Amino acid sequence: MAKKIYVLEDDPDIRSIIEMILIDEEYEVMSFSTINEFMQDKHEHADLFLLDIRLPDGNGINVCEALKKGFNTKKVPVLMMSAHSSQTEVENSCSAQGFIAKPFDINYLINQVGYSIAHN
């Protein structure tokens, strides 16, 4: 069974690229453009969350913190993405397993996703 990745990214072009990359790597991808849409999902059988930080309806760091408190999601690895935030800022604010700076290198994204899932 394919590993399931939940993506929260407001930019449709970036979201589409991420979806194509992850599907090509044989992951099942559930993608969302807003925090509201994302939080309405039950996140069943999630293997990884890939979250943008700056979103039009809130902050991905707050989403990360909520996921880390959720009964069904607290042990699921989270990778944060941003073109504006630093790795240090993310590490100091939520328990994400990693940070991906945008624009991102495709191989780095694939490696981070694979490593995070394998070491969960």
Residue by residue, DSSP assigns 64-115 as HHHHHHSTTTTTS-EEEEESSS-HHHHHHHS--SEEEESS--HHHHHHHHHH
Q: Are 96 and 64 in contact (CB under 8 A)?
A: yes
pLDDT at 94: 85
Q: What share of the chain in percent tops pLDDT 90?
A: 82
Structure tokens at 73: 């999601």
Mean pLDDT confidence for 9-36: 98
4-118 carries CATH number 3.40.50.2300: yes
Q: Note the pLDDT tens digit of each residue in 82-106.
A: 887 666 666 667 889 999 999 999 9
- Domains of the chain: which residue ranges? 4-118
Q: How distant, in Å, are the alpha carbons of 9, 38, 52, 61, 114 from that of 55?
A: 7, 12, 7, 10, 25
Q: What is the mean pLDDT of the chain?
A: 93
